A and B are shown apart, each in its own frame.
Chain A
Amino acid sequence: MDNNQTTLSNPTNNPEEITHKDVSKAYLRWHFANEIPHSFERYLAPSLLWAMMPVLRKLYKDDDKLRDAYERQLLFFNTQLTWGGGIITGLMSSMEQERAKQENEHKEITMTDDLMYNTKAGLMGALAGIGDSIDSGTIQYIFIAIAIPWAQNGNPLGSLFPFIGFALYQVLIGLFFARQGFSTGRNATSLMESAGVQNAIELLSILGLFMMGILAGNYVQVSSSLSFEISGRPFVLQETLDSIVPGLLPLVVVLGVYYYYSKKGLKVTRALLWLTGILIVLAAVGIL
């Protein structure tokens, strides 16, 4: 343990310059640590601290200042891996650098603890929402949807292709966001509101909804097996349905679950249990 007090306010202990390489390293450390120490208390804060350690050690040569910086980055934190994690590791590197310079030059501290935490907290939820629905919800399933037919034919490529493709995508997009977050610095907040980023989010949200429609059409399979005879002529319910609106039943199921969420909130497990129960009953009595 290095508690050497003689290093205090030593003039040669200027903060080192943070380079793009340092930011990339911080992001890769975040990318690795991400969910490992996930806890109820601080969620992903320990991962952010662990990611930022090398950057903070370059900036704060004084033990007390370094400890303060560690504690700043260990406050409650929860976001998504690449969008949130990327932008915020880059942004925190830039803000900590400004803070270290202000402390070192004994200037007035404008980069306060509150400002840093509020910036982080303001971005983490918003970016998690965008990042989850676009990365995990859309891009991951585009990869999986492409590969499913291979898996159905017994081809191991059906597993390897989406795994490798999505893993590479995430590292690259995360590094990109980390660098963006670092170079825009505090403007990252307004970066999110700029026309370019807003248009990109709009485009990806629409693509997400579009691909969900394609997935629903291909992979949600609900059809009626009900058939009986009406005055000697066979009546097959599914054929009648197909002649009115093809694909009606799967759509009803998807929109039904969506309607449930909009009434009851995002209760995924409960929706899963309800739907399973309803499908079991309808299948057992021969309607589906």
Chain B
Amino acid sequence: METLTVWQSLIIALWVGAVMSRSFLGGATLMLRFSPLMTGLVVGIVMGNVADAMIVTAAIQLIYMGVFSPGGTMPSEPSIAAAIAVPVALLGNLQPEAAIAIAVPVGLLGTYLYQFRFFINTFLGKRTDRAVAQLDHSGITRSVIIYPTIASLLLFVPLVFIALFWGAPVIADVIAALEGTVILHILEVVGGGLAAIGIATTIYVIGRKEYIVFFLAAYFMSVIFQDLGVTMVTYAIIGTLIAAIFVLAKSNTSAATTTNTPVTNEFDDDEDDDDF
């Protein structure tokens, strides 16, 4: 069985640390963390096999379709999942479905690490208080940006390195032994079904129960048109048009029934009417 070199393990571990510390490119780490796509590509480049890495990554992306972090509750960490599962799949020449068996548990464990980061940052926050009290501007920058970044790197890099350098070959052996058994069929089923989580979460968070008909209409539309090869861009345009027509029709009827008072942005002190 092949293994990863020290350098390969270290580069992937540093990438994960940079993403999970959220400091590398700041807000752009949002998709780097929520989607396995870029991490999978980095793994492919590091291991010198971009094409196969992309195929495995696509299979992992499908189980995280629609996943995001409403109010900070993330069911999994797709980036960490890809950082471990893609190398294992490449080392063991595994089916893309087999990578799901590694991605799901690793992704779940990753959420605890990310929570631990909040815990560390809570202590670093005391330094921010002190720096504010002393108006120490560079001290504020250190406690808000520098220290949390270092803390996250120290948390994620060693663990991911160990998992890759010593763990990956072992996991690859175990999973390779499962090929051809019913386990692989189970993984395929789990992989196909899990995308439902992210999608249902999004529907729930959008929170417009009465508009669920739009979800249903789109669902059957895409099932019926499956063989026509309609692209996502086309669907996005159709969706925008349908939504626009609905909003137009709705505002016209409300304009007709109530004498539509134009909404002016008047200065008022009434702040407490956003109920949520």
Contact = CB atoms under 8 A, between A and B. Distances in A.
A136 interface: yes
A217 B218 contact: yes
Given A144-B35, A269-B75, A33 B26 contact: yes
Given A210-B218, A210-B242, A213-B216, A146 B37 contact: no
Q: What's the dominant secondary structure at chain A's contact region?
A: helix
Interface stretch (A16-24, A99-107, A226-234, A247-255): A247-255
A184 B204 CA distance: 31
Contact of A212 (B124, B148, B202): B202
Contacts of B192: 220-223
A272 interface: yes
B52 A209 contact: no
B140 interface: yes
B206 to A, nearest CB: 5
A119 B151 CA distance: 33
Given A222-B189, A283-B186, A272 B197 contact: yes
B244 interface: yes
Given A33-B144, A174-B27, A40 B118 contact: yes
A246 B222 CA distance: 11
A118 B134 CA distance: 27
A235 interface: no
A257 B70 contact: no
B167 interface: no
A31 B203 CA distance: 26
A120 B267 CA distance: 17
B219 to A, nearest CB: 4
B135 interface: yes
Contacts of A39: 118-119, 121-122, 124-125
Contacts of B243: 202-204, 206-207, 210
Interface size class of B (residues with CB under 8 A): 35 or more
Q: What's the dominant secondary structure at chain B's contact region?
A: helix
B265 interface: yes
Given A199-B251, A210-B243, A217 B122 contact: no
Contacts of A122: 271-272, 274
Contacts of A186: 267
Contact of A118 (B202, B223, B246, B271): B271
14 contacts: A53-B137, A67-B135, A78-B72, A129-B205, A129-B276, A133-B207, A153-B54, A156-B54, A208-B206, A211-B235, A211-B236, A251-B216, A271-B75, A272-B76
Interface of B: 21-23, 25-32, 34-35, 37-38, 40-41, 44, 50-52, 54-55, 57-58, 61-62, 65-66, 68-76, 104, 108, 111, 117-119, 121-122, 124-125, 128-129, 132-137, 140-141, 143-145, 148-149, 182, 185-186, 188-190, 192-197, 199-208, 211-212, 214-224, 226, 231-233, 235-236, 238-240, 242-244, 246-247, 250-251, 262-263, 265-268, 270-274, 276
